[in-house]
Amino acid sequence: MDASAPSVSSPVSVGEFRNGMALLPGAVTVITTDGPEGPAGFTASAVCSVTDSPPTVLVCMNRSSFAHRFFATNGVLCVNVLNATQQDVSGLFANREVAMAERFARCPARPLATGAPALDGALVNLDGRIVATHEVGTHSVFIVELQSIQVPDGASALPGLAYFNRGYHALGQAAA
């Protein structure tokens, strides 16, 4: 079955799906790019490791997003995993009313191997090239082979930022 073909009908409603997914915790990330189309970034929790040989992640992005064309054309991206003090960065890159130039002006970044911006203060920056794109429903699933990984000094001591049950949560304490 073609993954991009619309489903004839589903026993699960959009509301049920969204409510269920709200209870699946996800790391909060800002996905950035730069290249021929210019710089862009958006907040995402739909990021997942795929394999370690070669090091590959996937990133899901709504095709109707204003920023979609930047990623599709540039062909590179950086997954910036936010720490618990960066909730404002998440909000900045999720705010459709803030221009891309202003987002990057308010959040210092530096280019990594692919030229994609790595946001300062992130727990880790995963820099890679989009090697495949799959269209599934309303989204593009970018398959990204990593070219470099940056872990700033002291990052492992910082709490992570997760999104769960429609709210932000700091991570860092081990479960009992």
Each residue's pLDDT tens digit, 97-128: 999 999 999 999 999 999 999 999 999 999 99
pLDDT band of residue 1 (cuts 50, 70, 90) is: very low
For domain 26-154, give the fold: Pnp Oxidase; Chain A (2.30.110)
**Where are the domains positioned within the chain?**
26-154
Give the residue carrying structure tokens 């996937």: 58
- The answer, yes or no, to whether residue 3 has pLDDT greater than 60, is no
Write down the pTM of the prediction. 0.90
More confident call, 99 vs 173: 99
pLDDT for res 45: 87
Residue 171 pairs with which residues in a beta bridge?
160
130/43 Cα distance (integer angstroms)? 18
> pLDDT tier at 73 (50, 70, 90 boundaries)?
very high
**Region of residue 17 (left: phi > 0; alpha: psi -120 to 50; beta: else):** alpha
